[in-house]
Amino acid sequence: MKINKLIVVTLLLSLSGLVASQSAGDYEAPRTEWGQPDLQGVWNFSSDIPMQRPQRYGTQEFLTQDEIQERRDAIMAGRAAADAAAARINVPDVPDEGSNPGGYNDFWFETAGLGDVVRTSHIVYPEDGRQPDYVEGAKVQFGGLGPDVPGDRPVRYVVGGIDKNGPEDRGLSERCIVGFNSGPPFTPSLYNNNMQIIQNKDTAVIMTEMIHDARIVPLTEKPALDDDIRLWSGDSRGYWDGDTLVVETKNFNGFRQSFGAAGQNYDAVLTEKFTRVAYDTVDYEFTVDDPGTFTDKITAVVPMIKMAGQIYEYACHEGNYGMVNTLRGARVEERLVSEGIDIGERD
């Protein structure tokens, strides 16, 4: 299923450049039974493009055809190496001593393929494609898959941890509270970059596969939510600007970062735009405005590609044996150390 999905994504992405180039500007989205642009379906926001633009590109927004070909060659070389590694699994040879057998979960990872129009970064504003500077005093907190980085609660990043004293010391995705890619806003990551849009006359639903978050967006005038009601995914309100669905989200709870490794999103305002530019493509653009963290706004563009499939229930918390094992392992280590038993080097 996963392989089929990847093939579909890759094919569609390969085609999307052609479709986009043929239809840019004159594509008219199909209509729902209420006459609104129909964005419904399952969409995938996998990407091989970096969020921030490598500095060597300066303000160059798109790769040249030569640069695209270089990227394709590198991707194909990587795939050939992966295929060779996979083939070795079926051969009962002992791997060379010291060789890297690869990650056990490489097959999960989604790559998107490249069309004929390729951005140098998802960030399009500021013009250099780079995250703007932090304001003085901004909260910056780095997580990751490496060793824990000691720090203070709350842990606002998604993966990693400051310690193992309690679940609150771990990243938000390790706790199964929010997904590591599903935002809001959506930011392409290693796998499960899937979301579904459902619409009726007065409401749009932005549903993520990761941690099954159904963000319900009213499209009618409603009073603002009380400022004391703060939510992990914020409070979203939407409207149509021509054929573009615009969603503004605030009332975040401050327990998440506003963008990248920085900020706390309490005062952040997120604006997302969804525009169907081809049968198989929704242009997704988001702008993060968090003056308490960044000296400027950040706008990024992430294409979403139509999927021929369904999203599945990602019951993260129900199967979170990892949290028990992480905490229990830490307590066992402490006990062994207190008993004078040498447990070797640990993270």
Partner 1 sequence: MKIIVKYLLTLLAPLLFAGIADAQVLNEFPRTPDGKPDFSGIWQAMTTAHYDIEPHAAAYGPYPREMGALSAKPASLGIVEGGRIPYNEVSRRQRDENARDAITKDPLAKCFMPGVPRANYLPFPFQIVQSRDVILLAYEFAESNRIVYVDQPEIVSQVDAWMGHSNATWEGDTLVITVTGQMEDTWFDRVGNFHSFEMVVEERWTPGGPNHIDYSATITDPNTFTEPWTVSFPLYRHVQEDMQLLEFKCVEFAEEYMYGEWRKEGTPIGNPDQ
Which residues make up the interface to partner 1 (CB under 8 A)?
Answer: 1, 32-34, 40, 153-154, 164-168, 175-177, 196, 198-203, 205, 207, 211-214, 216, 218, 222-223, 225, 229-233, 253-255, 264, 266, 310-313, 315, 317-318, 323-324, 327-328, 330-331, 334
Q: Is the peptide bond before 184 cis (omega within 30 degrees of 0)?
A: yes
Whose Cβ is closer to partner 1: residue 118's or residue 205's?
A: 205
What does the DSSP 8-state code read for residue 226? Answer: P
Whose Cβ is closer to partner 1: residue 113's or residue 184's?
A: 184
Q: Closest separation between CB of residue 146 and partner 1, Å?
A: 22
Q: Closest separation between CB of residue 191 and partner 1, Å?
A: 16
Number of residues that make up the chain: 347
Q: Do residues 48 and 111 lie in contact, with contact meaning Cβ atoms separated by under 8 Å?
A: yes
Q: Do residues 325 and 210 lie in contact, with contact meaning Cβ atoms separated by under 8 Å?
A: no
Whose Cβ is closer to partner 1: residue 223's or residue 242's?
A: 223
- Please name every residue paired with 215 in a beta bridge, in sequence order, or none if there are none: 206
Distance CA 15, CA 21 (A): 10
Q: Closest separation between CB of residue 244 and partner 1, Å?
A: 19
Whose Cβ is closer to partner 1: residue 39's or residue 300's?
A: 39
Q: Closest separation between CB of residue 216 and partner 1, Å?
A: 6
Q: Closest separation between CB of residue 157 and partner 1, Å?
A: 14
Whose Cβ is closer to partner 1: residue 128's or residue 267's?
A: 267
Whose Cβ is closer to partner 1: residue 67's or residue 333's?
A: 333
Q: Closest separation between CB of residue 209 and partner 1, Å?
A: 11
Q: Closest separation between CB of residue 16 and partner 1, Å?
A: 23
Q: Closest separation between CB of residue 329 and partner 1, Å?
A: 9
Alpha helices in 242-303 (DSSP H): none
Distance CA 274, CA 293 (A): 25
Whose Cβ is closer to partner 1: residue 69's or residue 200's?
A: 200
What are φ and ψ of residue 119, in 5° steps?
-75, 155
CB half-sphere exposure, 177, CA atoms < 13 A: 17
Q: Closest separation between CB of residue 263 and partner 1, Å?
A: 13
Whose Cβ is closer to partner 1: residue 72's or residue 153's?
A: 153
Q: Do residues 185 and 270 lie in contact, with contact meaning Cβ atoms separated by under 8 Å?
A: yes
Per DSSP (E only), the strands in the chain are 41-44, 123-125, 194-199, 203-208, 214-218, 235-241, 244-250, 269-278, 281-289, 298-306
- Exposed, middle or buried by CB within 10 Å (0-12, 13-18, 19+), for 186? buried
Distance CA 340, CA 347 (A): 18
Distance CA 150, CA 142 (A): 10
Tokens of 45: 């926001």
Distance CA 308, CA 159 (A): 30
Whose Cβ is closer to partner 1: residue 61's or residue 163's?
A: 163
